[in-house]
A and B are shown apart, each in its own frame.
Chain A
Amino acid sequence: MSTSLTKMYIDTSSREIQVLSIGVLIALLLLPQFLTSYQTRLATAFLILLLFVVSYDLLIGYAGVLSFGHALPYGIGAYFLGLSLQGRLPFLAEGQLSFLAAVVIALIAVLLVMLVTGALALRTNGIYFAMVTLAFAQIGYIMMVELDSVTDGENGLFISFPDVFGYSLANVGNVYYLSLVCVVISYLLIRHLVKTPFGLVLRSIRQNEERAQFIGLDAYRFQLAAYTISGLFAGIAGMLFAISNTFITPDMLYWETSGDAIMMAIIGGIGTLWGPALGVAVTFVLEEVLSGMFLTAWPVFIGIFFVLVVMFIPGGLAGIIQNWRRTISIDDLKRRIER
């Protein structure tokens, strides 16, 4: 009866897509040369958000589990990076750690948090899973607020960054290029991942968990792996956010952070990687344009936009483009037959 949450992805290896991607990459590489420092900051924020939303899509679109708690790894990554650099973690004095060591600590923290919460949350499914993951992210939020002796609570945490390979992170351009490198590599890794057998297994579990179990695939284990991996990428996005902002607050872990990312992913169209990227771009541009005119009405506007997409174009913008390219997915066919 129910149609799956996502569409089949289209083959992105076609020539035009390749040309387009390389074009976009070159444009991104040259971008800071033409921008003011404010605009460069904006572009950096955009890249970070893009990684966060695409990592989310790995979970929702490919593994087919709707987590409402993706803000958790995002915030944990940022906080652990900041705390270890500031010497706020137990047994650490400030300046003891190199930047790379702090990154490793943050990644390990994200890994552990994701494994534990994932192992628990995946005992449930569907709606329960959405609620449980939301609750977990909220625990993280509460902890960052309550442990104010360590995290400075609601006042937020200021982070001073050492130079990395001789480059100062106070320079806007350097931060942009660091983000660009991380985001592009992460994106390519995720893209590779969904094409590997691992990605195929995830999609098969999403389409029919029972059958996948019958042919000997342990759904729980694969979904836990997807949950953890997507969390690691969200953690990287969180770290980049900390680097570019040098100031983080517990709000990073609040459920609105997850909610906004979900909205962008759905508007773009989940189940493809370029869809959510497009969704981020569209919402980002809209927000820039509209918030200048009426800042407070922005949430209402984006909410209405999102609801319309959910109701009338569940494939999102990517779905529209795919239909326009005359690629019809199995799901489309099923939906037509059901009607």
Chain B
Amino acid sequence: MSSTATIVSLLLNGLAFGMLYFLFASGLSLVFGLMGVVNFAHGALYMMGAYIGLLIYQQTFGTGLFIVAFLIAPFAVMGISMLIERFTLRHLYDVDILYQVLLTFGLAVILEGAFRLVFGPVTLSFPTPGLLKGSISFGGVIFPYYRLFVIIVGAIVAVALYLFLERTRYGLIARAGMMNRDMVEANGINIDRAYTFMFGIGGFLAGLSGIMAAPMFGVFPTMGHDLILLGFVIVVIGGLGSYKGSIVGALVVALAETYGNFFAPEIASVTLFALMVLVLLFKPSGMFGKPGVLAH
């Protein structure tokens, strides 16, 4: 394997992980940007996406149709998120922002505990879907099809989400709601429903990243832990509530991780956090975050 090939395959791997992290972190960032809620249960939703996907995958007509699991799991998590928002979070919008953190943290504990109770603490394997088995090779670079698939899906979702926020009436309402909730309501728009839907979108993204990650990492109750930490690092680096920030942050973190693991494995795990500290030193609001966005 030539050194160029190494660099290229690391880059591709970094991109694949970056897309996965982006799917995850964008949901975290979106929910914050639109509703001012940092969802500590986002990792638990991701874990649920993986488990629901695995259940469907095992049950579908005995053949394991990945596409069915892939399409249903995110929507299932979306539905659950909307219920969560409707029955718990909604009652806490007008109290101190930190109560929402505590609430979502508590929800994460419940969800994780429940899944551990039902499925046990073991890691369940999620076989790579048949069509995406094997890998592509060119010029000495070998790259699994599945990771290519992750990159493509991530890119599609990134564009779709952007268009949704920028070009649709719904995105407009969401952005307006962020600026001035009362004014949106005065214009006859049901902001409560919009909020529920937005939180659902966040859940959808968490569920999607969960099922995407399942064949790569396996499925286990605490799988959300590592990712929510990465998600926090990403939004701190990129800037909370910034869409561009979650893309850039995710790619920066993933590439730092991939290259770090290859060139300096002994310090790799701390590199990410060191990056975060650097950003905090020079731009406490993150690369693309608006200063004062957190003033409340």
Contacts and interface: CB of A to CB of B under 8 A. Distances in A.
Interface string A128-150: 10111011101100110010000
A112 interface: no
A2 B97 contact: yes
Interface in B18-46: 32, 38
Contacts of B294: 124-128
B96 A131 contact: no
Interface stretch (B106-114, B140-148, B209-217): B106-114
Between A120, A131, A298, the greatest number of chain B beta carbons within 10 A of the residue's beta carbon is seen for: A131
Interface stretch (A97-105, A197-205, A305-313): A305-313
B240 A128 contact: yes
Between B233, B270, B273, the greatest number of chain A beta carbons within 10 A of the residue's beta carbon is seen for: B273
Interface of B is mostly: helix
Given A128-B284, A259-B105, A310-B99, A135 B92 contact: no
A4 interface: yes
B229 A134 contact: yes
Given A120-B281, A138-B229, A310-B103, A127 B96 contact: no
A142 to B, nearest CB: 5
Q: Name the interface size band of chain B.
A: 35 or more
B153 interface: no
Given A135-B273, A138-B229, A123 B280 contact: yes
A304 to B, nearest CB: 6
Contacts, number: 124
Contact of A143 (B270, B277, B280, B281): B270
Nearest to A314: B99
Q: Name the interface size band of chain A.
A: 35 or more
Given A120-B281, A131-B236, A307-B88, A262 B102 contact: yes
Interface of A: 1-5, 66, 120-121, 123-128, 130-132, 134-136, 138-139, 142-143, 146, 255, 259, 262-263, 266, 296-300, 302-304, 306-307, 310-311, 314, 338
Interface of B: 32, 38, 88, 91-92, 94-99, 101-103, 105-107, 109-110, 112-114, 116-117, 225, 229, 232-233, 235-236, 240, 266, 269-270, 273, 276-277, 280-281, 284-285, 294, 296
- 4 nearest A-B residue pairs (beta carbon): A299-B113, A303-B109, A303-B110, A300-B113
